[in-house]
Amino acid sequence: MKLYYAQNTRAVRVAWLLEELELPYEIKKFELGSRDMRNPEYLALHPMGRVPTVVDGEVTIFESGAIIQYILARYGAGRLVPDVNSAEFPVYLQWLHYCEGMIMPPINTLVVETILLPEERRSEPNVKRATKLLNQMLTAVEQHMEGREFLAGDFSAADIMTGHSVIMSRRSRADFSDKPNLDAYADRLLDRPALQKAWSL
């Protein structure tokens, strides 16, 4: 299995899962924004020239959530997913997908408006709105994490997906001063050796 990866991107999620499952993989590392991500060879794998992409034999797949589900279905052997008949399974599904539906859109706006755009093209109203939305989205996770260590029972792929977004939020403009559950949750995840390895590739 080959993982196309760049630091501080959603590709960290895939590397984290592979490390948690102790699956062998080869890594092709890009610098974020590199022209190599737009070369015809890579665009044939991912038409948007983004990461992550995984090539596994005859299978090529992109989108971090889809990759996570693919790897778990093919190689997980039941690990990091609650039993389908358990009360935690629908909770797991909800938080597996929450990050991309709710947390990452305002983070994407913040990245564009505070990093990618030249200063003269940035919009402070867009930044304020995205910051407000991000804090609202995180409040729901903060409330859910009351009395919990992980999102859906034991540590699962939901923590890899939404947990990664929580950590990225803390590294952006999100206000964690009123989110002690999320602050402790992020620290707990960052203590995991598999995530430490995935982030340092």
Q: What is the DSSP string of 33-92?
A: T-GGGGSHHHHTT-TT--S-EEEETTEEEESHHHHHHHHHHHH-TTTTS--TTSTHHHHH
Residues 107 and 37 in one domain: no
108-114 long-range contacts, Cβ below 8 Å, gap at least 24?
110/134, 110/172, 110/173, 111/172, 114/173
Beta pairing, strands 53-56 & 59-62: antiparallel
pLDDT above 80 for 173: no
Residues 60 and 108 both lie in one domain: no
| Structure tokens belonging to residue 191 | 């203590």
- What is the gyration radius of the CA atoms in the chain, in angstroms? 17
pLDDT tens readout for residues 142-165: 999 999 999 999 999 999 999 999
Name the domain count of the chain: 2
Q: What is the mean pLDDT of residues 61-80?
A: 98
Predicted local distance difference test score (pLDDT) of residue 121: 95
The rounded mean pLDDT for the chain is 96
- What local confidence, expressed as pLDDT, does residue 116 receive? 84
Same domain, 106 and 161: yes
Do 23 and 114 fall within a single domain? no
| Nearest residue to 64 (alpha-carbon basis) of 51, 73, 77, 55 | 51
**pLDDT tens-digit profile of 94-142?**
999 999 999 999 999 998 999 889 999 999 999 999 999 999 999 999 9
Answer yes or no: do 102 and 148 share one domain: yes
Q: What is the mean pLDDT of residues 11-35?
A: 96
- Which residue, of 49, 75, 101, is where some domain finishes? 75
Residue that is last in its domain, among 17, 48, 75: 75
pLDDT for 61 equals: 98
Q: Is residue 81 part of a domain?
A: no
Place of tokens 């995935």: 198
pLDDT at 11 over 80: yes
Q: pTM (2 decimals)?
A: 0.96
Q: For residue 179, give the nearest of 151, 150, 137 by alpha carbon.
A: 137
Residue 191, domain CATH: 1.20.1050.10
Q: What is the mean pLDDT of residues 4-18?
A: 97
Looking at residue 27, what DSSP letter applies? E
Residue that terminates a domain, selected from 23, 41, 75: 75
The reply to whether 188 and 93 lie within a common domain is: yes
| Residue 142 domain-assigned (yes or no) | yes
- Provide the domain limits for residue 127: 88-199
Degrees to nearest 5, angle at CA 80 with 78 and 81: 65
